[in-house]
Amino acid sequence: MLLLAAWLGAGVAQGSVKVADWAREASLRVDAAGDAEVDWSSSHGTESVVIYKNGQLRYGGKIDAADVSHVVAEPSLPWALTIRQTPDGSFYALQSWKRLDDGPVELRFSRWRGEPTKLTLRTVCCKWGGENVEGNASFHGKPIYGFKATAQGNPLDPYGRNVYLDSFHGGQWQRMMGILAKAPAGQFSLWIRSVWAGSAYRGTISGPNWGWTLGPDAFAEAHSSR
């Protein structure tokens, strides 16, 4: 699929979809055709986007048909604002979190069937006097990774994903870095420098883009092994 287009106009979804920055009072509805409407408030007023079943996005759009979805408590998702399910068993969700350390809080949309995206995280002691944080990213048992990336680990195709890793030290969570999930098992590993060392670590990853599936974002946490 093509990368998500500009803020205004039509676009195509890539994985879990960032629909807005600093959104307030977000809501979600889905019609019988599988088209979803997200509404929210911003400094510009009330805004909306329609995410069609085929992946197209239309900002400022509305769906005219009735909402056939209902709120569900499961599956559990990190930073979920709402999780809804349609009669065919599909899940639709809104999540809100700060993906980039120097970026805004993002409102993100996802849709999928079955279990949500899975991220594992563990600490391994000790390498070069420190510990490693490592894990795997998967969806329905299949590893998440891309096929092209920069030398710095930035994905260059719609399938690649960075895992954003934070350390809890000094009484707060602080970003260490984003690290690429790699083939063949969607694995990643980061050596913890002394300046990053904390009592716990957490990781977050945006969901995969596999056709109709726009997987939800996932989270994992691990305590220090030291």
Instruction: Give pLDDT, residue 16.
Output: 84
Tokens read off for 129: 């006097």
| Nearest by Cα to 55 from 186, 175, 209 | 209
> Kind and range of the H or E element at 168?
strand 162-169
* CATH 2.60.40 matches 118-223: yes
Instruction: Give pLDDT, residue 171.
Output: 95
Domain range summary for the chain, segments of one domain joined by +: 10-112, 118-223
Tokens read off for 38: 């997200």
- What distance in Å separates the CA atoms of residue 65 and residue 12, rounded to the nearest whole number? 22
Mean pLDDT, residues 175-187 taken together: 96
Residue scoring higher pLDDT (6 or 189): 189
pLDDT above 50: residue 210: yes
- What distance in Å separates the CA atoms of residue 87 and residue 220, rounded to the nearest whole number? 30
Residues in the chain: 226
Residue scoring higher pLDDT (13 or 191): 191
Q: What is the mean pLDDT of the chain?
A: 91
pLDDT above 90: residue 121: yes
pLDDT band at 15 (very low <50, low <70, confident <90, very high): low
Instruction: Give pLDDT, residue 14.
Output: 56
pLDDT digits (tens, 9 = 90+) for 70-101: 999 999 999 999 999 999 999 999 999 999 99
Instruction: Give pLDDT, residue 41.
Output: 97
In terms of pTM, does the model score above 0.85? yes
Strand 162-169 relative to strand 172-180: parallel, antiparallel, unpaired? antiparallel
pLDDT above 70: residue 34: yes
Instruction: Give pLDDT, residue 6.
Output: 28
DSSP, res 150: -
pLDDT above 60: residue 53: yes
- What distance in Å separates the CA atoms of residue 44 and residue 15, rounded to the nearest whole number? 26
